[in-house]
Amino acid sequence: DGGITQSPKYLFRKEGQNVTLSCEQNLNHDAMYWYRQDPGQGLRLIYYSQIVNDFQKGDIAEGYSVSREKKESFPLTVTSAQKNPTAFYLCASSPQGFEQFFGPGTRLTVL
């Protein structure tokens, strides 16, 4: 089955800990994205990558880091510098410049 997987679905962490969210796609898409969604709000772009070994900051990159070592994978690390990390995190991928396809999301709760 082709698609985008995110794991885990729910994640709980203590305040001050770094946490890495997984995103994998087998659609052979060049571009991948990370968005954050807060309750009742739209999605906000954190980071995006158009090609392996390259990525750019989105609108709210502070406190987050990413890597793109493989075409299929785009993990997001939420660092302790992120002041309010509790949110719903969505990963997406697309062929260059075309429609974005989203994963099921990871709900992160920081205790």
Partner 1 sequence: DAKTTQPTSMDCAEGRAANLPCNHSTISGNEYVYWYRQIHSQGPQYIIHGLKNNETNEMASLIITEDRKSSTLILPHATLRDTAVYYCIVRAGRGGSNYKLTFGKGTLLTVNP
Stretch that binds partner 1, among 11-19, 66-74, 78-86, 96-104 (CB under 8 A): 96-104
Structure tokens, 57:
């900051």
The residue within the footprint of partner 1, chosen from 34, 48, 64, 74 (CB under 8 A), is 48
Size of site (CB under 8 A) for partner 1? 28
Q: Which residues contact 99 (CB under 8 A, 6 or more apart)?
A: none
Quick note: the x/- pattern for partner 1 over 7-36, rule CB under 8 A, is ------------------------x-x-x-
Classify each residue of 66-79 as buried b or exposed e, where b means 16 or more C-beta atoms within 10 Å of its C-beta.
bebeebbebbbebe
Residue 103 has phi, psi (to 5 degrees) of -85, 180
Q: Can you give the binding site for partner 1, defined by CB under 8 A?
A: 4, 31, 33, 35, 40-45, 48, 50, 58, 88, 90, 92, 94, 96-105, 107
